[in-house]
Amino acid sequence: MVKTIHNIIRLPIIYLTVIIDVLRQKRFLKKYISPYVNEASTKNDGSFTSKDFDKINNYYGLGVPSILGEAFCKLRGIPMSDKERWVSTCQGVTTGLFDDFFDDLKLPKELIVQMIEHPEDIRPQSSNEKLFLDFYLITLMKAKHPELIKKHSILVKKAQIESIEQENSAISLTRIKEITRSKGGNSVLFYRVAFDHPLAKGEEEALFQLGSIMQLENDIFDIYKDLKKGISTLPTSLSKASELRDFYTQEMIKLIMLSYKMNYPKRQIRRFLDQVIFVINIGFTCLDLFQELEKHEGIFNSSLFNRKQLICDMGR
């Protein structure tokens, strides 16, 4: 009972901390990143879309530094430096543009590898490619560990290619879990190497698990979009919302257990978990919606429901 009351008291403090982190990042985006993006918009050949703009300002460019980046800093007990914020933000900017290489532009795999390993040698063929290369080069220039950035970029690319298997409706649940884990885990480790301090003992395992559950949460909120595209994820494939909720809960418990094995002071681990679990908990709002839908049909078959029923407004 005392622990529950303590957690309730802490919740507004956690929420306020997250809001402050987000507002700080918004100011950074407006001051330093918007000039690059606005210039790209004036010379746009159509490959840089409003969707990309939204990803930079309201999703990856905002969330990667203000949620994940700040969590990494709380874990180590040292605030984010200006240089680290630049690197983390540029990583966020390039993430959405990188996704376009697979989803929209369908660039050859060999070209994507060249852009990652030798960006200075590439002549961009579109506005999207140019903006990606501009921010990726800034990332490498400002990062303390540019070779680690390249290494983990390749791992993220590999996971993206593996995820194409999810377009096959016959894919097994086991393989879906493997791909979800690889895609999310490698992405979070990619964002982690933007920071100067080395990985502590046990940190790689914990952060890989964090990425796994964050990718699952993303799939939960993207269920309608993935359903329409014919992409098999755990939310589109499981027939019981309760089964999805149980798996999500187990993954969160595993994250907590792995986090306390990291070689950091427990106080800093708690602050890290406060930051990330605050975000992960939002997934339960969507899972509540799915279970309500299941009550009416007796089964959770996402194809039975319409857009309004399936989409949960994460912002709200």
Mean pLDDT of 288-310: 77
Using pLDDT thresholds of 50, 70 and 90, give the confidence band for residue 147: very high
- Examine the pLDDT at 259 and tell me if it is beyond 70: yes
- Examine the pLDDT at 310 and tell me if it is beyond 70: yes
Count other Cβ atoms within 10 Å, centred on residue 5: 9
Higher-pLDDT residue of 83, 5 = 83
- Examine the pLDDT at 306 and tell me if it is beyond 90: no
pLDDT at 138: 97
Q: List, as one string, the DSSP characters of 243-286.
A: HHHHHHHHHHHHHHHHHTTSSS-HHHHHHHHHHHHHHHTHHHHH
Share of the chain above pLDDT 70, in %: 95
Helices (H), 79-172: 82-103, 109-117, 127-142, 146-162
Q: pTM score, two decimals? A: 0.91
Share of the chain above pLDDT 90, in %: 72
Q: Which of 10, 58, 52 is nearest to 30 (CA)?
A: 58
Using pLDDT thresholds of 50, 70 and 90, give the confidence band for residue 314: low
At 101, which amino acid appears? F
pLDDT at 2: 36
pLDDT at 283: 92
Count other Cβ atoms within 10 Å, centred on residue 271: 19
Q: List, as one string, the DSSP characters of 3-48.
A: HHHHHHHHHHHHHHHHHHHHHHHHHHIIIIIHHHHHHHHHT--SSS
51-101 confidence digits (pLDDT tens): 899 999 999 999 999 999 999 999 999 999 999 999 999 999 999 999 888
22-50 confidence digits (pLDDT tens): 999 999 999 999 999 998 888 899 888 88
Task: Count Cα neighbours of 143 within 13 Å in the Cβ-side half-sphere.
Answer: 24
Integer Cα distance of 32 and 1 in angstroms: 47
Using pLDDT thresholds of 50, 70 and 90, give the confidence band for residue 1: very low
Residue 299 φ then ψ, to 5°: -155, 150
pLDDT at 15: 82
Q: Which of 289, 282, 284 is nearest to 305 (CA)?
A: 289
Query: Which residue shows structure tokens 């560990």?
Result: 145
109-136 confidence digits (pLDDT tens): 899 999 999 999 999 999 999 999 999 9
Q: Which of 269, 280, 196, 274 is nearest to 245 (CA)?
A: 280
Integer Cα distance of 72 and 197 in angstroms: 10
- Examine the pLDDT at 315 and tell me if it is beyond 60: no
pLDDT at 76: 98
Using pLDDT thresholds of 50, 70 and 90, give the confidence band for residue 105: confident
pLDDT at 14: 83
Task: Count Cα neighbours of 287 within 13 Å in the Cβ-side half-sphere.
Answer: 21
- Examine the pLDDT at 166 and tell me if it is beyond 80: yes
